[in-house]
Structure 1
Amino acid sequence: MATGLALHVGLNSVDPARYEGWEGTLVACENDAHDMARLARSAGFESTVLLTPEGTVANVTAVLGEAAARLGPGDILLFSYSGHGGQLPDAPDGPAGGSDDEPDALDETLVLYDRQFLDDEVQHAFRAFADDVRIVCFLDCCHSGSGIEIPGGPESDATARFMPEPEQRQLYDRDRGFYADLRRTLAESAPQDGAGPDALLVSACQDNQVASDGDVNGAFTEALLRVWDDGAFRGGYRDFHRAIQRGLPPTQSPNLYLTGTPDQEFVDQRPFTV
């Protein structure tokens, strides 16, 4: 039988000492992580939950590394993240002014408790998994359309899950050298053919959009849970994505994004199938 491992990260704030005094307070992200964990466990996944101060780069990469060591062909990883999303200029100090894998010249980030986690780092962590491990990712954050690789708010009064632009600029100016070195290290370890890991992402919005927080769940997670309907949903990941998309306004349009060459049978599976 296949093995399913899941990691659920939910951050209602970040460490202000690492973000120049910005706390990034949100309401529903820890609830999202708990609810995604309950869903995953009911589907047969062994789940790990990291909440707010536990949601550090070291903890996230450690859990993903342990999962990569345990899972083999035919097994499945489920990764869900709920919190702020960010964007950083994509290697502006490089010889070409950036890399050609980011059409918008921006790296999307997960705003973890201690620092921003690049989409390149997510891909690096996923590359450690054996071939034919199914990788599924749900990101309930802003700028998440291709988050395994200019803000405008939804038409509501809900808090958006993005780091304000002044803080983004300030932190990037402070950490420019760190991210330049990090990108160089990741590039050196990447496959020469540039192929990404075989992974499937359903995100809360497009790269140029923001995602809404809520009183109980984020807007995306709330729509996902409603569509899933305690397991009553039937259909594949494309149907699942479209059904979630219909439950949200055009200003927050969930994305289905594939990297590598996921097997079509996997894409057509009912979501959360172990």
Structure 2
Amino acid sequence: MTHSLICQLTDSQTIRLCQALLIGINYIGGKSPLNGCINDVQNVRNWLLHRNPAYGQNMLVLTDDQQDPSKIPTRANMLNAFRWLAADARPGDHLFFHYSGHGATQKNLDGTEASGFDETLVPVDYERAGQIVDDDVHAILCKPLPQGCNLVAFMDCCHSGTVFDLPYTYGVDGNLDITIRDNKAEAVKHGTKAFFALLQKDNTTALREVESAIKLFITPDQQQQSAPNEEMARQRDTTRATIVQFSGCRDDQTSADAQIQGRASGALSWALMTVLQRNPNPTYTELLRETRGLLQGKYSQVPQMSTGFQVMLQWSSGDNVGPMTGAHC
């Protein structure tokens, strides 16, 4: 197949749609304003259209500096935007999602999170309407997508490692080597984190880590009982579509809203754009490693990559099997 900058018919005569959703929230006039999120959306939009102008035909941008009420990133508008992105998706479609704003956690009430907490996205009207939990993100945006559809997401927010609730996460260790772990089966050592959080008087984090640590002290019988539940969770969260989520940090970390080269920007968005401008078609391994390399030493956050099923890390961002931006549309 030849490369093209417009959507075209594939060999199977399936129309390949290029569609993008970009959300940036500075929380203008709010209690916890950010500075670089709208800039992030502008930068990602410019990069995406330069890479493939076909996205301009089907692009929705929500930012809290717009006059149109339907383009403000309220909870209702964000959920509707998720539905818009996933609606009528077909094999061969290329979907792209970028979010820059606050991320948070809240107590998990249905027992589906090993940590005991849901990761959340924070709409501009969160105080009135509430946050968007990872379960809803997965159910609305990920689960409906058919096999052969492709979604790439850049999530520049705190506590974002598994905000799509995808079952596999690829991290980067201190030596910048790729590591893979099964989110639903991994036993995490939370006690030390709780101790250091208490030293820093971060009681919220300490409580979260203590609760997670207590769950590790279960009997062998309980472990045997939990194994089928973990397998059910993996099967539940496995997606038919090829979904790749890059996030700014692990679930227990924050992502920086920074000043970089004199301009407000999210650290992850800046690093991703820098890497992709240098190398427009990196493998996923290269993109994850080089993004972390730009942030290492400057920020404590560790970028993550999550997928709906185990993928080949040598896939290129321009491959048909694992497209970054639908360069083949």
TM class by shorter chain equals 0.7 to 0.9
Q: Which residue of the partner structure matches residue 160 of structure 2?
A: 144
For residues 204 and 233 of structure 2, what CA distance do their matches in structure 1 show? 33
Q: Does the CA-based 8 Å contact 2:276-2:282 persist in structure 1?
A: no
Of 266, 274, 281, the residue aligned with 1:234 is 281
In the TM superposition, what are the counterparts of 1:248-259 in structure 2 within 5 Å?
248-249=295-296, 251-259=300-308
For residues 240 and 193 of structure 1, what CA distance do their matches in structure 2 show? 27
Structure 1 counterpart SS, 2:291:
helix
Aligned residues with identical type, % of pairs: 27
Superposition deviation, residue 266 in structure 1: 9.9
How many residues align? The count is 225
- CA RMSD in angstroms, aligned pairs only: 3.0
Q: Which residue of the partner structure matches residue 140 of structure 2?
A: 125
Of 18, 42, 52, the residue aligned with 1:4 is 18
Q: Does the CA-based 8 Å contact 1:201-1:258 persist in structure 2?
A: yes
For residues 161 and 122 of structure 2, what CA distance do their matches in structure 1 show? 15
Q: Which residue of the partner structure matches residue 108 of structure 1?
A: 119
What are the ranges of 5 or more consecutive residues in structure 1 without an aligned counterpart? 17-22, 153-163, 170-189
Q: Which residue of the partner structure matches residue 210 of structure 1?
A: 254
Q: Does the CA-based 8 Å contact 2:281-2:316 persist in structure 1?
A: no
Compared CA separation, residues 222 and 265, structure 1 to 2 (3 A): closer
For residues 192 and 103 of structure 1, what CA distance do their matches in structure 2 show? 12
For residues 233 and 42 of structure 1, what CA distance do their matches in structure 2 show? 11
Superposition deviation, residue 257 in structure 1: 0.9
- Greater Rg, structure 1 or structure 2? 2
Superposition deviation, residue 5 in structure 1: 0.6
Deviates more, 1:62-71 or 1:3-12: 62-71
Q: Does the CA-based 8 Å contact 1:15-1:114 persist in structure 2?
A: no
Q: Which residue of the partner structure matches residue 90 of structure 2?
A: 72
For residues 235 and 61 of structure 2, what CA distance do their matches in structure 1 show? 34
What is the TM-score of this pair, normalised by structure 2?
Answer: 0.61
Poorly superposed stretches of 4+, deviation over 6 Å: none
Deviates more, 1:44-53 or 1:2-11: 44-53
In the TM superposition, what are the counterparts of 1:1-274 in structure 2 within 5 Å?
1=8, 2-13=16-27, 23-44=31-52, 45-46=55-56, 47-52=59-64, 54-91=72-109, 94=110, 98-99=111-112, 102-115=113-126, 116-126=131-141, 127-149=143-165, 193-197=235-239, 198=241, 199-215=243-259, 216-229=264-277, 232-249=279-296, 251-260=300-309, 264=312, 267-270=315-318, 271-274=324-327
Deviation string 1:140-159 (CA, Å, 9 cap, x unpaired) is: 01111111119x9xxxxxxx
Compared CA separation, residues 25 and 195, structure 1 to 2 (3 A): closer
Superposition deviation, residue 49 in structure 1: 1.0
Superposition deviation, residue 128 in structure 1: 2.4
Superposition deviation, residue 42 in structure 1: 1.8
What is the TM-score of this pair, normalised by structure 1?
Answer: 0.73
For residues 86 and 265 of structure 1, what CA distance do their matches in structure 2 show? 28
